[in-house]
Amino acid sequence: MSELLVLDADVVTMDADRRVVTGASIAVADGRITALGTAEALRARFVGADELDARDCVVIPGLIDAHQHTTGDPLVRSMIPDDISSDESIFDWIVPLHGVHDGDDDELSATITAVDALTRGVTTLLEPGTVASPLRVGAGLEKAGVRGRVGGWGWDVDGMPFAAPADEVLARQEETVKALATNRLVTGWVTLVGHDLASDELFANAADLAERLDVGLTLHMSPGENDIASYAKRSGLRPVEHLDRLGVLGPRLVLGHAVWLDDRELDLVLAARAAIASSPGAYLRLGQGYARAGRHGEFVRRGGRLALGCDSHNAGDVPDVLHAAYLLAALERDRGTHPLRADEVFALATVAGAEAIGMGAQLGSIEVGKAADLVVLDTRSIAWTPRGDLALQLVWGGASGSVRDVIVDGEVVVRDRRPTRVDVDALRAEAADRSASLLNRAGISVAPRWPVVQP
């Protein structure tokens, strides 16, 4: 049984009492947290265990990213123009790129995303289902050592990449979940693209499949106004009302976005105990109107299950959950109606986010029996000088820049700011080659905003 001691840190437990234990040490065995105490007591109990010195550091629970696309965008990071509509970004860029992705692209993209996330303190990713090769994506995530939930493309509309009849889509989803069932880190999830891109049959049967397989269901809905108009034509209902009629709403459902909800829709989501994954960086980057329509603060205030997400590398742009927490707190504070305090938003990034995605019993806090997903923040930098209120500093202070070490399932996967499982230099070289090839296959030409010249 592998054992590790994380020694002499200030530990933000996120337990029921939200205790911060100063000068504490954490014992880890076989991937679980087994004890908290003094270094002396734990060394006596766990003789010969590996040690990680965390003096002058803050240890927080691993962060939860409940909506993170892992393919398509990572190989074209910061290349999609920021002066086009969200529809143009998706259907003129992302969908064509996905259409020519192969399995090697998928696995590499997932590895890049995982490494990027881990170095920012994110230990769990939910891929919301635009993946052609889910098992290759799972392999890419596992290679880096992140915890993940993966599904494949789920839509039955004509003329789109990887679309298929509803029964075929569902068969592929079930195959993925079963293939990953025994994996310790990366397992399956039922994923639909959502919006107005699935038939009623696919929506309803996907919810039934998630129930039968005892997994979650993710779909996208109403990040902007388009879905409202689509469903008005489709059924005369608002989008969430339509899902309710189909029996899709329930505690297994994680609605990606759900920004443009009216009173009735918000009531339905709350009553069904469905969760929402909020990606504020994407709404701002794509100009989707969160400042006018977003109600995620109200949703939390009314007892809703909310998690944070970072979306994609051209919408949200970085898998940085503490940055997403900053943006959501700022947006809700500026709106003024249901502002969220820093401690409340940090909970969305950890314990409350874990509960929202159905993993609260395993993740989100530093407590005996939970998975040993831990992040060590080096507080010796000027950004932590002097030390302020921890909750405020974690959300408003750019804390992801101080991530030093990351532990997932008891294994140190980032040590002294360097991934331990992946050769970053080799990853960088491969990404450059595959990026150029991907753009060429998709027939997309990237024109830089600034002229590039030789000296």
Provide the sign of the torsion angle of the four alpha carbons 376, 367, 215, 275, taken in this order. negative
pLDDT of 414-425, one tens digit each? 999 999 999 999
CA distance 58 to 384: 10
Tokens 């609260």 locate to 360
Mean pLDDT over each residue of the chain, to the nearest integer = 95
CA distance 377 to 402: 5
What's the confidence (pLDDT) of residue 84? 83
Residue 329 pLDDT more than 90? yes
pLDDT of 95-131, one tens digit each? 888 888 899 999 999 999 999 999 999 999 999 998 9
- Judge contact between 296 and 278, C-beta under 8 A: yes
pLDDT of 343-388, one tens digit each? 999 999 999 999 999 999 999 999 999 999 999 999 999 999 999 9
- Judge contact between 242 and 264, C-beta under 8 A: no
CA distance 92 to 90: 6
What's the confidence (pLDDT) of residue 83? 86
What's the confidence (pLDDT) of residue 1? 58
Non-local (6+) Cβ contacts of 214 within 8 A are none
For the chain, how many helices (H) and strands (E)?
18, 18
CA distance 158 to 197: 9
Mean pLDDT of 154-161: 92
Provide the sign of the torsion angle of the four alpha carbons 172, 177, 182, 187, taken in this order. positive
pLDDT of 307-318, one tens digit each? 999 999 888 889
What's the confidence (pLDDT) of residue 385? 95
- Judge contact between 74 and 313, C-beta under 8 A: yes
Q: What percent of the chain has a predicted confidence (pLDDT) above 70?
A: 100
Residue 302 pLDDT more than 90? yes
Helix (H) or strand (E) holding 122: strand 122-126
CA distance 350 to 187: 20
Mean pLDDT of 64-71: 97
Mean pLDDT of 404-411: 98
- Judge contact between 161 and 98, C-beta under 8 A: yes
pLDDT of 233-253, one tens digit each? 999 999 999 999 999 999 999
Two tokens at 429?
């070289």
CA distance 248 to 252: 9
- Judge contact between 101 and 72, C-beta under 8 A: yes
Per-residue exposure over 68-78, b if at least 16 CB sit within 10 Å of its own CB, e if not: bbbbbbbbbbe
What's the confidence (pLDDT) of residue 448? 85
For 40, 147, 346, 387, the CA distances from 367, given in Å and listed in that order, are 19, 18, 17, 24
For the chain, which domains are there?
3-61+366-419 (2.30.40.10), 63-356 (3.20.20.140)
CA distance 104 to 187: 20
For 54, 86, 93, 412, the CA distances from 29, given in Å and listed in that order, are 18, 46, 45, 13
Long-range contacts from 301-305, C-beta under 8 angstroms, 24+ separation: 301/338, 301/340, 302/266, 302/270, 303/270, 304/269, 304/270, 304/275, 304/276, 305/251, 305/273, 305/274, 305/275, 305/276, 305/352, 305/355, 305/356
Per-residue pLDDT band for 79 (boundaries 50, 70, 90) equals confident
Residue 293 pLDDT more than 90? yes
- Judge contact between 309 and 67, C-beta under 8 A: yes
Per-residue pLDDT band for 86 (boundaries 50, 70, 90) equals confident
Which residue type does 131 have?
A: V
Two tokens at 426?
């080799």
pLDDT of 273-287, one tens digit each? 999 999 999 999 999
